[in-house]
Structures are given as structure tokens and as C-alpha cells.
Amino acid sequence: MTYQFDHRELRDVLGSFVTGVTVVTTVDGAGCHHGLTVNSFSSVSLDPPLVLWSQSNSSPSHPVFSKSGRFVINILAEDQVDLSNRFARSGPDKFANLVVDVGAHGLPILKDTSAWLACKLVSAIPGGDHTIFIGEVEQIQKATRKPLVFGGGKYLVADTHDMVPSPVEKSSNEGSFHAMRLGGRVMARLAAEFDQSFALAVWGSHGPTVMNWAPSLTSPRKTLPVGLVLPVTSTATGIAFTAHLPNSVTEPFVKAELASSLIEWWNAEVRAARARGLAMKLDNLSGGDSALSVPVVDVSGHAILTITAVGDPDQFVPSFDGPLARALYAAGRSLSRRLGYVGEEQGACSTAEVVSL
């Protein structure tokens, strides 16, 4: 049969299926430990408790796993990338200078993993250039550590999906910290997807304050320092906050920054940002940057933080109808829903008023 794809294309497609990362270990008849990194692990049955994994027939340890009769699936934790890399490489002794626990039947169990399952081999099924090992689970242990994740040829971090509802914290401080944690994770994903720098800001006692950065991965730029207080009226971040905060909070800052002749213009800017759910500024953030900002609002409809895409104007020209704007808007709405906001998609999430002088 002639396939319409090559091995590289197939690997890329299969790599789009995100998996956990395991190290499968065993012991041979001489008491030597063997192991390799595997992401083909899967459950098969709960009754009886069966799992499977597959190994290349050309792997040096294939004869050992075929004869050993038992193995351990070590599900790696999110900080065990080095351990994954160690067992992914070929080498004479992958266990050199590595302290392990020894379980029943002399099986090596890696320390500090997210979980492990000790299994008895019940079947080895040929599968092309691999062998599928099916094991009956005899012992298990689970820790509270998050698992390591792999997909698209990269290590990833497991986290709760932004669309999954979570209870709104009763404490405003707890809610703020929760929002910042969620916002930081979303910001990092957006930076990786769009190769653009992003800033997370909160409204502090002196106005919009940068609390975190996710820099562009391939186009490094000078980032604003954490703790920097931004102007209200000349930044996308400031506009996004003003459009979704009470007038009593923002009015003192606006009056301090703007002449009375500009208030009508300012009110129009705020109304437009409130209607769109996004705020934009060209060449006005920290000496010449362009920016596009989305507010994240809490259950009361007040902006609790903003996420802002920011870049040099010769490389970043923001727009309200591009893919980045749509993704940023969707992220803001998703995070707002996670914080308990249930209002309309646009406009109604704000209690802000216009400023008058």
C-alpha cells in the first residue's frame, strides 16, 4: 500500500495528541535495573485492572522487558523533565547515581513522581515495529504533584481549562491571587501562540501596576519592570481598567493627567473600549510601544486585572479584528466567567461612568 504521508508527517500528527510522560522500569534476572521514557501508556480495563504501553522492537532493553514478567509505570511530575530526558537517551546505565525505591520483586520505583503503578505482564502483542505490553496492575500510589505533559514535541504543564467553572472566592484577596495565577497561565499561552510579549497588570494604590510579564519567545524585547505604575490615560491598560471600574476609583487619576479640554475625547475612548471589550493604544506605552489590552472582571463586573499585548510599533500593529484581538478577547471573557462574572458579553460588565470637569 502506498501512503500519502511520510514518517515525519505522521509523527507530527501523532504529536498533536497531548499525553503524560512516564518512565517504565523493570529488573532483569541479574538484578540490574532498566528503564525508558514512554508516552504510549494507556489504561485498558478497570476490572480486571489492566494498562498498556508499547516499545520499539529495536530498543536495547526490549529483550529485558519481554522476559522480566513485571514492570512499573512511573508517571513523572511536572518538574521531572531532566528525569524524562535521562531515560529517553540510550546509555549503558541510566540509573547511575540515581536513588530509587525498590518495590516488590525488586522492581525499581522512581522517587517524587506524580504516581506509579506496579504491574505483572499478562500479554505481549506484536504491533508493527513495536510490541504492545499489557500489564495487570498489582500496586499503585499517587502523590499530589501535577504530572508532566508532552505534546507537539515539547514539554507542557498540566492545568485546569479556563472554561471549567470554579467557585468564586469569598475573600477579595484570595480572589485577586486566584485571578493573577489564572491570568499568568493564560498570558504565557498567548505569548507562545502569537510570539508576542504580554503584560499582566492590577489596579494598585497608584493606578495600573505591572505584576507579571510573558515575553516573546523568538523576538526578545525590553520588558517593563514588575511593579511599574503605568499612566491611565495614555496606555491601553489604563483605558481597559477605566472602562470597567467605578468612576470614583479612576477619576482622580484622569483629572491629574488630562487637561479639561481633553475630557470629551477621553470619555469617547472609554465608551469605545467598554463597547468593544478591548482597549488599544499606538506608540504610547513606555516611550513608543503599541498595545492591545483586555480586562478581566470579577463577579461584580469590576476589572480585577488586565492582560495586554505590547510590542515595538515596527513589529506590532494591533487591530481590533485580527486573530490576536479575538484570542485576547476570548481569554478575558473566559477568565471573567471563571471569576463568577455572568453578565453580557460586551458593555454591561462595567459600572464605569464618564468623567466631568
CA nearest neighbour of 256 among 238, 235, 285, 231: 231
Q: What is the pLDDT of residues 308-321, one digit of tens each?
A: 998 877 777 788 88
CATH class of 159-338: alpha beta
- Band of residue 164 on the pLDDT scale cut at 50, 70, 90: very low
- Provide φ and ψ at 158, rounded to 5°: -80, 135
Do 7-151 and 159-338 agree at the fold level?
A: no
Q: What is the CA radius of gyration of the chain?
A: 27
DSSP secondary structure, 123-171, as one string? EEEEETTEEEEEEEEEEEEE-SSPBEEEETTEEEE----TTS--PPPSS
- Count of CB atoms within 10 A of residue 43's CB? 11
225 upstream amide cis, omega within 30 of 0? no
Using the Cα atoms of residue 179, residue 181, residue 187 and residue 193 in order, give the sign of their dihedral: negative
Overall size of the chain counted in residues:
357
* DSSP designation for 114: S
Residue 353 CA to residue 126 CA, distance in Å, equals 70
Residue 329's SS3 state is helix
Q: What is the pLDDT, as a whole number, of residue 167?
A: 40
Question: Span 7-151: which CATH code?
Answer: 2.30.110.10
Percentage of the chain modeled with pLDDT above 70? 87
Domain boundaries of the chain, sorted by first residue: 7-151, 159-338
Q: What is the pLDDT, as a whole number, of residue 155?
A: 87
Q: What is the pLDDT of residues 222-259, one digit of tens each?
A: 566 788 899 999 999 999 999 999 999 999 999 999 99
Residue 216 CA to residue 193 CA, distance in Å, equals 10
Residue 277 CA to residue 341 CA, distance in Å, equals 14
Q: What is the pLDDT of residues 291-301, one digit of tens each?
A: 899 999 998 89
Residue 352 CA to residue 198 CA, distance in Å, equals 25
* DSSP designation for 287: T
